[in-house]
Amino acid sequence: MAAFTTRPEITGTFGVVTSTHWLASAVGFGLLEKGGNAFDAAVAMGLVLQVVEPHLNGPGGEVPALIYSAREDAVSVLCGQGAAPQGATIAHYRNEGLDLIPGSGLLATVIPGAFDAWMLMLRDHGTMSLREVLEPAIYYARHGHPVLERVSQAIEGLADLFRTEWTSSAETWMPGGNVPVAGALFRNPVLADTWDKVLTEAETVSGREAQVEKARETFYRGFVAERIGAYLESACVMDGTGERRKGVLSADDMAGWQANWEAPLRGDYGDWTVCKTGPWGQGPVLLQSLKILEHSGISDMPPLGADFVHTTVEAMKLAYADRDAYYGDPDFFDVPMQQLLSEDYARARAGLIGENASLDQRPGRIAGLQHLAEAAVAQAGAETAVLVGADAGEPTMAHLANRKGDTVHLDVIDRWGNMVSATPSGGWLQSSPIIPGLGFALNSRAQMFWLDEGLPTSLGPGRRPRTTLTPSLALHEGRPNLVFGTPGGDQQDQWQLIFFLRLVHGGGNMQEVIDGPLFHSMHFTGSFYPRRAMPGRMMIEPAAGEGVIAELRRRGHEVEVAAPWSVGRLTAAARDADGLLRAAATPRLMQAYAVGR
């Protein structure tokens, strides 16, 4: 008898979609029904997610994606991660009295990347018109969608800040001066107007690709960029430090930037090949972890047992230590990725995993780059002088302004075998004030940079922040098989690693694996303000069992037991060798859904 799951694994042959919100999943599948392909569906889903999960992503945010094109028989990375503005220098930020980049406010902003990335996907791989993929988002912004409880809670927690400091945000998120009630219809008519105007301008030219190009121009060199630039010229707003500051992003920065396609990084694991972004994202930590675990005996460990949890956590600590030392924008720093993914290096790293939890930060020592390892260890050992936001005691405006956002995810496979895995984020309602007249906020991704010279992640004009956003695509025996991902910041590749290992070695279907108890480490330096490390600490769901939790504590892990069904937001879709399509979505937070037939 099959194991109980919270919902069935969805199976079919026509198409499957899955995402972190049921409305986006329904929209994506609706476009497949209308004859669109996976890329059309993904773009429409991404734009709808900006409307229905505004606390997790928005039009001012960013998106990386992994795609497989059946026509080209090729896997590609879509980089929709905007770069730092020309005015984003360490000297400028230091002169503002900053040691860390705030977690919110205008100095935390890089160039918005999501819209251009979605348009590039639509232009190069889609089949539908701009109107067809944009209309669902316009519909929900104009006519309303049932506001999520967590959106209502986020707005309620920020209401005083919105009323007194971010007044343009109050106009959007608190219509009539009130916090929207969970489940009530919520509208963002100003955003609907923005998209209508983009669409109207795009349709002044004829032809599908020409209209997409016109939309890109309208956003990055037209009225959208102009309004962003005009607002930032004078805006001086409260940020996560509790002080008011101006931003450095300009309309010229937006005009000079475009999303792009790149080759993926690949890592082999048995008869699987996993594809990830380059080291401008944290994706390679999944590849490094798999390489290390190949030498650890993980395949023989019961996937719900203490040995599996301990060994996986220890491998992730090592991979994330290398992330913190060596990853960054490879256009500006020669990241030693070949060595980090080599067999000899992985074998040596695996040898560091002992019976007990390590409490040390242990980046590998690479010839000529030892200073980067030492800098990463020092950063992990530093305590932030002024803790604000979730770590503060007495509530202040800084406490309100420093609320962390999160992320969304979507996976699509169509009947032709095209695949998309995308992890949009940024431009949260918590990140910065609404741009007047546009209906959306800018992102806060610059907080990934350090204000120290000479690091792969040092702030600098034109550099991409080392993002946490990390979709996945895997091939089985050389055949594109699986797309998967999750929101969760530093936890994204941890939860994906657990999912992948249990799927490959455990024998359950994707829904069984997703429903299983999840865990993650908080040992290494966090990517978000205030950039703290918590050596030895990990979190695990209580469904792991008291025996497993006790054994992990015996081995020296500082174990925090999470609330039931609270860790991870995984979704996944697969295409088997016989053409069977499968999809699954997490029951956690009661939002994600898979659809297929």
For the residues 203-232, what does the mean pLDDT come to?
Answer: 98
Pairing type for strands 537-540 and 558-561 reads parallel
pTM, whole model, 2 decimals? 0.96
Percent of the chain at pLDDT > 90 equals: 94
User: Does 323 share its domain with 431?
Assistant: no
Q: Is residue 242 part of a domain?
A: yes
**CATH number of 353's domain:** 1.10.246.130
Q: Which helix (H) or strand (E) holds 521?
A: strand 519-521
H, E, C per residue of 327-357? CCCCCCCCCCHHHHCCHHHHHHHHCCCCCCC
Q: Which of 454, 561, 431 is nearest to 59 (CA)?
A: 431
Does 302 share its domain with 250? Answer: no
Domain-embedded: residue 579 = no
* Whether residue 526 sits in one domain with residue 484: yes
Amino acid at 561: V
What average pLDDT score do residues 80-104 get? 97
Residues 29 and 55 in one domain: yes
Residue 395 lies in a domain: no
Residue 507 has what pLDDT? 84
- Give the total number of structural domains in the chain: 2
Give Cβ neighbours of residue 482 (< 8 Å, ≥ 6 apart): 472, 473, 474, 476, 503, 572, 573, 574
What is the CB neighbour count within 10 angstroms for residue 366?
16
> Is pLDDT above 60 for 385?
no
Which structural domain, as residue segments, surrounds residue 502?
266-385+469-570
Are 298 and 162 in a shared domain?
Answer: no
Q: Are residues 296 and 315 in the same domain?
A: yes
Residue from 182, 224, 237 nearest 431 by CA: 237
- Looking at per-residue pLDDT, the higher value among 433 and 399 belongs to 433
| Residues 200-212, mean pLDDT to the nearest whole number | 98
Residue 311, pLDDT above cutoff 70: yes
Does 79 share its domain with 215?
Answer: yes
Is 457 part of a structural domain of the chain? Answer: no
- Average pLDDT in the chain: 95
Q: For 224-270, what is the HEC assignment? A: HHHHHHHHHHHCCEECCCCCEECCCCCHHHHHCCCCEEECCEEEEEC
Buried-exposed string 459-470: b where 16+ CB fall within 10 A, e elsewhere: bbebbbbbbbbb
pLDDT (tens digit per residue) in 166-175? 999 999 999 9
| 479 in any annotated domain | yes
For residue 83, the tally of other CB atoms under 10 A from its CB is 25
Express each pLDDT in 517-556 by its tens digit: 999 999 999 999 899 999 999 999 999 999 999 999 999 9
| One domain, residues 229 and 247 | yes
**In a shared domain, residues 223 and 188:** yes
Regarding whether 222 and 107 lie in a shared domain, the answer is: yes
| List of E strands, 378-500 | 410-414, 419-422, 472-476, 479-485
Same domain flag for 300 and 414: no
If asked whether residues 251 and 288 sit together in one domain, one would say no
Q: How many helices (H) and strands (E) does the chain have?
A: 20, 21
- At residue 404, the pLDDT reads 59
Q: Please report which confidence band the pLDDT of residue 402 belongs to, taking 50, 70 and 90 as the band edges.
A: very low
